[in-house]
Structure 1
Amino acid sequence: MLVFTEKVNLQKHLESFHKTNKSVGFVPTMGALHEGHLSLLEQSLIDNEITVISIFVNPTQFNNSEDLKKYPRTLDNDVKKIESLSKEIIVFSPSVDEIYQGKTISLSFNFDGLENQMEGKHRPGHFDGVGTIVKMLFEIVKPNKAYFGQKDFQQLQIVKKLVSKYKIPVEIIGCPIHRESNGLAMSSRNQRLSEKAKNDASLIYKTLKKSKEIFKTKSANETIKFVEREFSKHPDFELEYFEIADEKTLLTCKRKSKSKKYRAFIAVFVEGIRLIDNLSL
């Protein structure tokens, strides 16, 4: 199984595939792989002749230095999981210096306002960091298709906007959220939760599902108040935000319209660990 740490060596290896027009699928990750990541790889293996996965904890998308420091790094274990799917998958695991060449700063992006909602409000500069690393990785790998999970739905929409605005020739494919047996959205951060917290965190998905039922007959504001009341009953949880937004623009729903598709977005702290989720309404 091939693991590259330098972009020039990866590019040399991929050059022959590009020249012969072989389809290259790409799964960008920050490692600490779980079943959700593996499902993206499985889809890429089905769709493409070549599959590349990047494992890189990108410092420019963290607005909290403590969160960056504590983010799980499990490269050896990740490689074993990838190998269990296919030894033909190519791994790109560069250092921060290899990517940023000593200048660990973000480019500045305008995503037509998508970056100012939800995560953007609470994590200043986050999507500049996401845009910077995704654009760099696309330029290195030059994939035909790239796969992203819908747990980070706002990120998915922003990557689609990035590709559109910069005319990057890659098809972005959003894949379904993978969940634990209790409904908790799979996340690398789940590794940092105690077993009790992981079990209790089923509350997040349960509440999202209830909010979907309520939104069928009630206003967005009434639905939001219901969710806030639910979490106020559980002092171990700190609700950062719950928003109902237009899937396309990510603008907050003020008044329901039959011509729009809505999605509920949530961010919650459990044991000091920030978990996000979303659900189509």
Structure 2
Amino acid sequence: MITSEIEVFLREDTGDFDVFHSLLPDEIIRARIIAKEDGILAGLEEAVRIFGYCGISPSRKRVDGDKITGGDVIIDIEGSSRAILQNERVALNILGRMSGIATLTRACVDMVKHTGARIACTRKTTPGFRRFEKKAVMLGGGDPHRFNLADAIMIKDNHIRIYGMDEAYKVAKDVSFVKKIEIEVENAGDAVRAAKLGADIIMFDNMDVRSIKDAVSVLDAEKLRDSVMLESSGGISTDNLVEYAETGVDVISLGMITHSARWLDFSLNVQVTCK
């Protein structure tokens, strides 16, 4: 987390001038941040940096990626009451948001562990908060996928409708020899076509389990399966995740682990005022 991001987050919460806290006497206090439920910890580094920006040096009791239970102490803090209370909500929000994503990601990773399929996120992230959400996915054991459009080339359905698969691939291939090319398909025939063109990755987009199994079988029969990585995306939730993982794909990308993760609950409790 860089200083400019901290300043944006804090300014959003404090507004132009925090009248109430500015009028209260500034005491030296001890406080701690406590987990109120079980999950995977993420956002600890960011919370510590937020307090550090205001001259407070928290003591970390856990590390990002830890499995935590309700009641665990995450951070001990001592310092200015004004600074601690002004930064409390931003720190708790980041902890809650990132830990919620990490927790859901870990649950999905564990569900498909027996298949060898990798869980990845997507670009369905909160504007301005993408790198924190993708970091949380990684702390939960998931793959960040593309961070942005520059990381890899994905030929999607709209590209194919406008330009055709062959022409879109030709343009993509001319971009750079180091860029991986992924092609989105909706049926077995297009999967074979994409593999023969030379796609590095084929994404089965919004295809049902039976259709994906059929496509994998066709690629096997054509001796194309080992030349490409297979990804499934669209319409996948925890209810059907295992079924999709058992189709034989290498990666399952899930928008819901970032856009629908439930926040984990944390609280900051003042322990004592130091006179």
TM-score (norm 1): 0.28
Higher relative contact order (CA 8 A, sep 6+): 2
TM-score (norm 2): 0.28
Between Structure 1 and Structure 2, whose CA radius of gyration is higher?
2
